[in-house]
Copies of this chain bind each other. A is one copy, B any other.
């Protein structure tokens, strides 16, 4: 269970153990599962948020923990092009947790739920040595229209929404006690905005594959490529980075490019479109900036091209790996 390699192996074994079938359109291995409904399909997802793994109580206020727990799941639904409808919240806390912490946690859940018209319909409460949240969200999508990871084709254009690496910059600043200098990044890290409206608009614009950027650009792009049986070429200069001066990069001990490629939790959308449809895609949609960052290739693997046209392989370094540096 340590590292990405073994997690990937395990997911492979689980896909074989629990194959789709019956009313299951999409089973284990995408952002969410898709269940056949009558006129509409149901899309369901579940996401952990664990103290000491995904957040620290010293840096993450209760309201942010609640907000973020729901944001993670809503972002998974968005990545399928689904409209979120319901949520269930499983919360386990140490017995000494103040009632106020728990209330603020649910206040954070409620605030984001209201924003997206999501109803919290149930959950489970228990105790655990550390705050542990598992949040399930249920959404709807037109029958057969969920946007999967596996739809990317050679020649498709790759896009990202927003700025990549901003959330990780916020985390970095929080950990180093420099939240005041990077206020916007910190806010973005604590209260991420799942791109629900944007996702729906992209489905209408003919996106072929989509994923939310939760583990960093390199990892999430590799998921699309593996699922679609293709490769990708990114243009280094086009990746929408956070703006950091060389002095800031030095003080922080990380570059804007590293934050974008290997950071995580941006909850922006990474998606592909056929060239023809890409020409009709506006540069802003549903309030988000869209940036063309590369192209899907027949040749497997991820490659990155710099400003001088030099191409090199792009190592896939996800959130987990990066975090341990």
Taking CB atoms, residues of chain B closer than 8 Å to A163 are none
Which A16-70 residues have a C-beta within 8 angstroms of B?
17-18, 20-24, 26-28, 32-33, 35, 37-39, 42, 44-48, 50, 52-54
Indicate if the CB atoms of A28 and B122 lie closer than 8 Å: yes
Name the B residues within 8 Å of A110 (CB-CB). 17-18
Contact among B35, B54, B128 with A121 in the assembled complex (CB-CB below 8 Å) = B35
What is the bound-complex CA distance between A111 and B48, given in angstroms?
24
Q: Is A106 an interface residue (CB 8 A)?
A: yes
The count of identical subunits is 2
CA distance A104 to B124 in the complex (A): 25
Whether A14 pairs with B106 at a CB distance below 8 angstroms is yes
Query: Is B24 within 8 A of A86, CB to CB?
Result: yes
- A42 CA to B32 CA in the complex, in Å? 18
Our pick among B27, B38, B93 for the contact of A37 (Cβ within 8 Å) is B38
Q: How far is the CB of A116 from chain B (nearest CB, A)?
A: 12
23 A–B pairs (Cβ distance < 8 Å), ordered by A: A1-B93, A1-B125, A10-B102, A10-B125, A14-B106, A17-B120, A20-B119, A22-B85, A23-B119, A27-B120, A28-B122, A32-B122, A33-B86, A33-B88, A33-B122, A35-B85, A37-B38, A42-B42, A46-B88, A47-B90, A50-B126, A50-B127, A124-B134
Q: Indicate if the CB atoms of B38 and A38 lie closer than 8 Å.
A: yes
Number of A residues whose C-beta is below 8 Å from B? Answer: 65
Question: Is the Cβ of B44 less than 8 Å from the Cβ of A95?
Answer: no
Contacts of A50 in B (CB 8 A): 92, 126-128, 132
A23: B residues at CB distance < 8 A = 85-86, 119
The answer to the question of A247 belonging to the interface, with a C-beta cut-off of 8 Å to chain B, is no
Q: Give A22 to B121 CA distance when docked, in angstroms.
A: 11
Contact A35:B86 (CB < 8 A) given known A14-B106, A20-B119, A121-B20? yes
A180 touches B (CB below 8 Å): no
Task: State how many angstroms separate the Cβ of A216 from the closest Cβ of chain B.
Answer: 17
Contacts of A95 in B (CB 8 A): 1-2
Q: Which residue of B lies closest to A27 (CB)?
A: B121
